[in-house]
Structure 1
Amino acid sequence: MPDVYRALGDSTRRRILSMLKQGNKIQKEIVEAFDISQPAIKKHLNILLEEKIISESWDGKYRIYSLNPEVLQIAYHEMLQYIGELLDDQLVSLKNYVEKGEFRDEQD
């Protein structure tokens, strides 16, 4: 399973994803949108590629990057499930606490 959160933890990578949300981009377009070096952008692109959030293809001499929204969708649904389970556990604990009436003892 890709570590989407590792990839999304950096603002430069989030900006790259926002660009790709608008459509495929060649590497030069991505590099020109930032005030950092081409090797630095390539490192960010490699992390996104490693996590399979983006894909890379070639058109002649140009590298074209595109978004893989399915990976983000899967991570989003897994996060919702995880948060739901956390909340369910907390609600069960709260229910048990209230049903035992222990909070009344603390108020007295």
Structure 2
Amino acid sequence: MGMTDIYRALGDPTRRKILSMLKQGNRTQKEIVEAFQISQPAIKKHLKILLDEKIISESMSGKYRIYSLNRHTLKSSYNEMLEYIGELLDDQLIRLKDYVEKGEERDEEH
């Protein structure tokens, strides 16, 4: 899978909730921490993973860290994932198509 390990990024419910929050708009680190019942260091670890995978971006506004969703990375990861799944299914879909078409030929003969 390309540069981003989307599975690592999305594999945790806390990270998925952070991404859902950022989908609504940019958030400060404080706002993200306050949305969870877990410690700030734990949240910072999750944010670091999302940053490492380039799923989110971080900027400074005065003394605040602002996080935002990196839609471009998400979009290309999504496309890569669809392509990958498509390749896995290709053989099955081709077999299914052949099966259905042969079935239709059988029906026409009757």
Query: What is the TM-score when the length of structure 2 is the normalising length?
Result: 0.82
C-alpha RMSD over aligned residues: 1.7
Report the identity percentage.
75
Work out the CA distance in 1 between the residues paired with 2:26 and 2:75.
18
1:90 matched to 2:78? The reply is no
Work out the CA distance in 2 between the residues paired with 1:43 and 1:83.
29
Q: 2:47 is matched with which residue?
A: 45
Where structure 1 has 5 or more consecutive residues not aligned to the other structure, the ranges are: 100-108
The Cα shift of 1:93 comes to 4.8
Q: Kindly provide the amino acid, as one letter, of the partner of residue 67 in structure 2.
A: Y
The Cα shift of 1:88 comes to 1.5
Q: Secondary structure at the match of 2:60?
A: strand
Q: 1:4 is matched with which residue?
A: 6
Q: Kindly provide the amino acid, as one letter, of the partner of residue 28 in structure 1.
A: K
The Cα shift of 1:92 comes to 3.7
Work out the CA distance in 2 between the residues paired with 1:91 and 1:44.
37
1:30 matched to 2:45? The reply is no
Q: 1:13 is matched with which residue?
A: 15
